[in-house]
Structure 1
Amino acid sequence: MRYLTRQFALGALRRGKGIEQFLGGTEVNGERAVRWVAISPMNGQYRISLHTVQDLDDDRAGDLSEFLSLDPADEVYVGEGRELGTSVDEEEAILLAERFASAAPDHWVNYAVAGEDYMDYIRNRRDTAQGA
């Protein structure tokens, strides 16, 4: 099971570890893209960031932070994502991410694990296309 319970997600943040969540596919200027949201401890607070990157359509590529950013607001600081907000409280940071990015309360994972959901997303898309 890769998803964190709420308590484990809060615990990770309290220990100085980031959490993230794959949000699924979207389109940017006619190009296929995917999005994920991250909460990162930074200077005594928690930074909530939204990332929109090129969909590589590769079920072996799981490091989302290496994908080309398609978010115009992210071009100056590639990889940092668009900041949605900050909070000094880890529970509030999670709630902000869920409200601003439509993150699901039960789909948080440890930092660098959201790529596994991306790879599942690609496999499921291919299976659906083959079944059609």
Structure 2
Amino acid sequence: MRFLEESFVLGALGRGRSVEQFLGPAGDAETRGVRWVEVVPAHSGFRVVLHTSADVGSEQFCDLVEFPPLDLENEDEEFGREIAKVEAAVDAVAIASARTGAVRDRWVNSGVAQDDYRDFVRAGRPDHWPSGAP
């Protein structure tokens, strides 16, 4: 099973492991992009980091961290932008949900969001992700 139950999300974070979630499309018809969010253990708490990159992948090339920023002129604002830093893992997950639209039951271990991206590509890059979500 790809997706982690909440107790496993919090357990991974408690062990110093990051979790992430593919959020779906970003940008517009001219500049196609994708977004994903990470919760990253830090020295004194947890960072919530939002990434927005150009959608340059395919089924064979889906390593999200290799994608260039959506807007090269504003790279620091879009790729790896820290949106919060908090002390408790549960608060970081809640903030990620509130500020990015992350869904409680779609968190994965670090490096696995690319599998969701591959599914997104196979689904024809729908306007909403997961497919059928408002």
1:30: Cα distance to partner? 2.7
* Structure 2, unpaired ranges of 5+: 126-134
Percent identical pairs in the alignment equals 40
Taking the TM superposition and a 5 Å limit, the aligned residue runs for 1:1-132 are: 1-27=1-27, 30-71=30-71, 75-76=75-76, 81-125=80-124
**CA contact under 8 A between 1:9 and 1:108: conserved in structure 2?**
yes
Spell out structure 1 runs of 4+ moving beyond 6 A. none
Q: Is the 2:48–2:92 contact (alpha carbons within 8 Å) kept by the matching residues of 1?
A: yes
TM-score by length of 1: 0.86
- Paired residues of 2:51 and 2:78 also in contact (CA < 8 A): no
Name the CA shift for 1:96/1:29 in 2 (closer, same or farther; >3 Å). same
- Aligned residue in 2 for 1:130: none
Consecutive unaligned residues in structure 1, runs of 5 or more: 127-132
Q: Distance in 1 between matches of 2:87 and 2:74?
A: 23
Q: TM-score, normalization: structure 2?
A: 0.85
CA RMSD of aligned residues (A): 2.1
Distance 1:35 1:76, change over 3 A: closer
Tell me if the contact between 1:51 and 1:71 (Cα under 8 Å) persists in the aligned partners.
no
Aligned residue pairs total 125
1:69, CA displacement in angstroms? 1.0
Q: Given that residues 84 and 95 in structure 2 are in contact (C-alpha distance below 8 angstroms), is that contact kept between their aligned partners in structure 1? A: yes
